[in-house]
Amino acid sequence: MTSGKLLRILIACAALAAFSGVASAQQDGSGQGVKQDAKAAGHDIGNGARDVGHATKGAAISVGHGAKEAGHGIAHGAREGWDATKHAVKQVFGKSD
């Protein structure tokens, strides 16, 4: 699941929780219940956002490591190509390594 989808689901759940909390608090006529429900929804949103952040960090690290390995492979290939070219030129012009 992508972080975008996870974030949309998180926001929808938080909105639903906040709305249901406000609706039940209005039926009870209790202002304290609204505050507690809003606080709980805020904590849930914060926890979900933290989880999305951790997932994004993990994906970025994985991509970064893959790019690093690809860069090393390219560098080694370029070095081997340079060495082969240098050796071939020296052979053509009669110079030894």
Predicted model pTM: 0.43
Quote the CA–CA distance of 56 and 62 in Å, as a whole number: 10
Nearest to 20 by CA among 3, 2, 6, 33: 33
- CA atoms in the 13 A half-sphere facing the CB of 85: 6
Give pLDDT tens digits for 78-92: 999 999 999 999 888
Helices (H), 1-97: 3-28, 31-92
What's the distance, CA 18 to chain centroid?
27
The two three-digit tokens of residue 71, written as one number: 């860069």
Quote the CA–CA distance of 1 and 13 in Å, as a whole number: 16
Average pLDDT over residues 37-62: 87
User: What pLDDT is recorded for position 23?
Assistant: 53
